[in-house]
A and B are shown apart, each in its own frame.
Chain A
Amino acid sequence: MSQVTEYSEKVMDHFTNPRNVGEIEDASGVGTVGNAKCGDIMRMYLDIDENHIVREAKFKTFGCGAAVATSSMATELVKGKSVEEALKVTNKAVMEALDGLPPVKVHCSLLAEQAIHAALWDYAEKNGIVIEGLTPPVNDIDETEEFYQMQGE
């Protein structure tokens, strides 16, 4: 299977020139989702102002082309939105904005949706507020450190 030929032009564009890569210092909310086993880990940073508007969104992703592209698109979609609106950015919306994904890559868009939710959850916790419809994120285990410790690094 050739990756490049199965991705839409938009996916390739967001992979090659990802928007909003990086970190936000003292972010209002940070969420990390994914699973080292499946090879995708996304971290999303949100800067949310006092009116609950997402001023800025940044991301870092370990993953395939689709994982990078969906992260990039997700940050674009939540920017400028209210917390409630950001919560409604679904994986379907991310996928549609990218002109679709190959079937085996649909899970990447789900991860992007979860990354938004995880960052919003962090924001809600830090500020002691409840965002209706938001459920706590699931964290995965990292087996890598153990491996390198075993090797004496």
Chain B
Amino acid sequence: MSQRIYMDNAATTRVRPEVFEEMKAYFTEEYGNPSSAYTFAGKISQKVEDARELIAKSIGATAREIYFTGGGSESDNWAIKGVADAMKEKGNHIITSKIEHHAVLHTCEFLEKHGFEVTYLDVDENGFVSPEDVKNAIRPETVLISIMFANNEIGTIEPIAEIGKIAHEAGVYFHTDAVQAFGHVPINVDELNIDMLSASGHKLGGPKGIGLLYIRKGVKISNLIHGGAQERGKRGGTTNVAGVMGFAKAVELANKEMEENIAYESKLRDRLIEGIEKEIPYARINGDRKTRLSNNVNACFRFVEGESLLIMLDQKGICASSGSACTSGSLDPSHVLLAIGLPHEIAHGSVRLTLSAETTEEDVDYTIKALKEIVDRLRSMSPLYEDFVKKNN
């Protein structure tokens, strides 16, 4: 394969060279444990706190409200289980949506087995949660509302500020899984009424294995890892210093370049969307056209199946992902695509292409051409297409 076109930045991103450079010293030179007493370690502890401060400021929080974790899934688990446990005297009801990441959905399902009740809100055809529905779902025993900031599959950005306002008016904590949004869209936790926010380092050019949970001061949440005094005793365990330093560097760069990246990526995203619509009949773009992540394209191609599409894209050097059942190891296609109302068969023919600042116009054009060829080829083999053509002739 002569070239690789990476269109799966929602899965993970390349660690930026500046980030890697920043991290190196913390493996080999500044390797001390920040919890230790001597100066060698104290200096590192200061670096970690500076990093915490930088990240806190990027979302309008204070450093004491940022807790480093092992990643987005851990943060989601902690936010939900931690609040459920700490608030169990108040109530046992949680509100979330049908299109959340499995880190949220499966955590809620786990709690259901332990006496909690969960409302899974429907979304509309573009993937929006209705703030009105959130309001109507609140009960006296509701302890938490967890709605994602932006959807990882279809890119739709949820009305976070409104949902947060409703939560606060009802005196219910509001958590948002911002793994796809953090570092990609401007976030201010006060303006958006967010009480807890999950983020991950590797979605914005940082390393894997580091994430954070923002916990607003005063929010009652049980400790996650019992052990040392790290993360103010809430999440014990030796600090992932290199991870923290790399994460902070990635956040710094992401914020500096955010405006520019959004403009650049949106242009390419729209070029890709328009190209697909122009070149490939019976294609459908999923997610809202405007209120969506600048790097996300999600399309369904009728009469073809996603895994076959992905393998053929791979053979042409393009890395993408799909909501097809075959790529998840289960028989059901993406819960997100089903939640926006797509029939199973259409949902099986989906592909997600997620761009980055490294993506070029040539990459986009090559991808459109490749998609067209592949979809044509798969349709020529598809009994569904055969039936469709016969029926319409």
Which residues of A pack against B, CB within 8 Å? 1, 3-4, 15-16, 18, 21, 23, 32, 36-43, 60-68, 104-105, 142-144, 146-147
CB pair A39 B343 closer than 8 Å: no
Q: Hey, which chain B residues are within 8 Å of A37, CB to CB?
A: 331-332, 344-345
Which residues of B pack against A, CB within 8 Å? 302-308, 310-311, 314-315, 324-327, 329, 331-333, 341-346, 348, 380-386
CB pair B327 A1 closer than 8 Å: yes
Q: Hey, which chain A residues are within 8 Å of B333, CB to CB?
A: 39
Secondary structure of the B side of the interface? Answer: helix
CB pair B331 A38 closer than 8 Å: yes
User: Known interface pairs A37-B331, A62-B303. Does A4 touch B311 (Cβ–Cβ under 8 Å)?
Assistant: yes
Alpha-carbon gap, A21 to B345, bound state (A): 21
Q: Hey, which chain B residues are within 8 Å of A18, CB to CB?
A: 381
Residue of B nearest to A68 (CB): B308
CB pair B326 A62 closer than 8 Å: no
Secondary structure of the A side of the interface? Answer: mixed
CB<8 Å pairs between A and B, sample of 7: A3-B327, A39-B324, A60-B386, A62-B305, A62-B384, A68-B381, A144-B302
Alpha-carbon gap, A64 to B326, bound state (A): 7
Neighbour of A3 across the interface among B307, B325, B382, CB < 8 A = B307
Smallest Cβ distance from A128 to chain B, in angstroms? 26
CB pair B345 A64 closer than 8 Å: no
CB pair B382 A60 closer than 8 Å: yes
Neighbour of B383 across the interface among A60, A105, A143, CB < 8 A = A60
CB pair A39 B346 closer than 8 Å: no
Q: What are the 8 closest A-B residue pairs judged by CB atoms, nearest first?
A: A36-B345, A39-B348, A64-B307, A64-B326, A43-B383, A60-B383, A37-B344, A147-B343
Neighbour of A65 across the interface among B304, B311, B331, B332, CB < 8 A = B311
CB pair A16 B315 closer than 8 Å: yes
Q: Hey, which chain B residues are within 8 Å of A1, CB to CB?
A: 327, 329
Q: Hey, which chain A residues are within 8 Å of B343, CB to CB?
A: 36, 143-144, 146-147
